[in-house]
Amino acid sequence: MTRVGLSLPQLGSFATRDTIRGFAESAEELGFGSLFVQQHLFYPLNPASGYSARPGLAVPEAYRSILQPMEILAAVAAWTEKVTIGTSILVAGYHRPVDLAQRITTLDLLSGGRTVFGFSVGWSDEEHEQYDVDPRTRGKRSDELIDALKACWGPDPVTYSGEFFSIPESDIRPKPLQRPHPPLMSGMRSAAGLQRTAEKFDIWNPASGTLEQHLETLASINAMRDPSRAPLTMCWNLFTVPPVIVANLQPLDVDGLCEHVSAAAAAGVESVSIDANFELAYASPEDWLALPAKLAPVLQAANG
């Protein structure tokens, strides 16, 4: 059986307290397995970098208003009891390890060990500049951030020394409920990012591309992985309407989603997540609150 998750309503004017709470509670009651949020900071009017690292591609209008991920997850941790909550994804360059390790630990403890955290290197020059980060260093910083996070979650005393981060000999407590740490998910797709995924992560979280392409890439990532470690699993992102329309990323209605999820289940894919944040047809809180029930047939498709 493939586990099916949903992205929480996070973008635009309908991402309100009541909408997020009602959506999360409904999704959990119906049996969806996870609820995800993403991270962006603001909407630059004259961006230097194209959306999703594609030169010249405009940033989607939906990003003009976005709630921040960790605060949403804290609320959803309190409003739900069983569903996994997590990020798909956090931008590594926007964080420092000790602070983020403690924030993740806090969410893992408050949720009763129901968290998973996805990371990627990001693409926005303007957002990196808000954190005084040179975006050309984002790959190396990502490597160090993940290593330093794992150090924070390991035995005390903790120390870490790198090019970007250093942690003096310290006790860093508490530790996450999930040991050795909550599952870490990679949204990376470059050659360097896939190598990083093989070395440091537990789950791969692809979006654009076909199932066959993703399965082939997953096999290549696992071939790079230390054979003493468990193979990476996959959480495939599907969009009702994608942020941008490209040849292999088209809108999906419920029937189309069921077809994709059924194929994923037949291929043994561990999980999929469905994102409707770019669906302009959902033009009211009532539309969003009705969405989990509208997507419920996908749960049946996940059973094969």
**pLDDT by residue (tens digit) across 207-259?**
989 999 999 999 999 999 999 999 999 999 999 998 876 556 678 999 999 99
Give the model's pLDDT for residue 246: 56
Average pLDDT over residues 107-113: 98
Give the model's pLDDT for residue 208: 83
Mean residue pLDDT across the chain: 95
Q: Given pLDDT bands bounded at 50, 70 and 90, which one contains residue 27?
A: very high
In the numeric block, the tokens 């990627």 are attached to 120
CB atoms within 10 A of CB 262: 17
d(CA 4, CA 206): 15
Question: Which CATH superfamily includes the segment(s) 3-301?
Answer: Luciferase-like domain (3.20.20.30)
In the numeric block, the tokens 């208003």 are attached to 65
d(CA 151, CA 143): 13
Burial of 183 (0-12, 13-18, 19+ CB in 10 A): middle
pTM of the model: 0.96
- Residue 180, preceding bond cis, omega within 30 degrees? yes
Average pLDDT over residues 43-67: 88
CB atoms within 10 A of CB 50: 15
Q: Given pLDDT bands bounded at 50, 70 and 90, which one contains residue 104?
A: very high
d(CA 70, CA 95): 12
In the numeric block, the tokens 């693409």 are attached to 123
Give the model's pLDDT for residue 57: 83
3-state secondary structure at position 90: strand
d(CA 295, CA 278): 16
pLDDT digits (tens, 9 = 90+) for 190-205: 999 999 999 999 999 9
Q: Two tokens at 158?
A: 């903790």
Query: Would you kindly state where each structural domain of the chain is located, as residue ranges?
Result: 3-301
pLDDT digits (tens, 9 = 90+) for 136-187: 999 999 999 999 999 999 999 999 999 999 999 999 999 999 999 999 999 9
Give the model's pLDDT for residue 49: 86
Give the model's pLDDT for residue 51: 87
CA distances from 13 to 10, 16, 276, 280, 294 (A): 9, 7, 14, 12, 21
Give the model's pLDDT for residue 22: 98
Q: What percentage of the chain exceeds 70 in pLDDT?
A: 98
Give the model's pLDDT for residue 99: 98
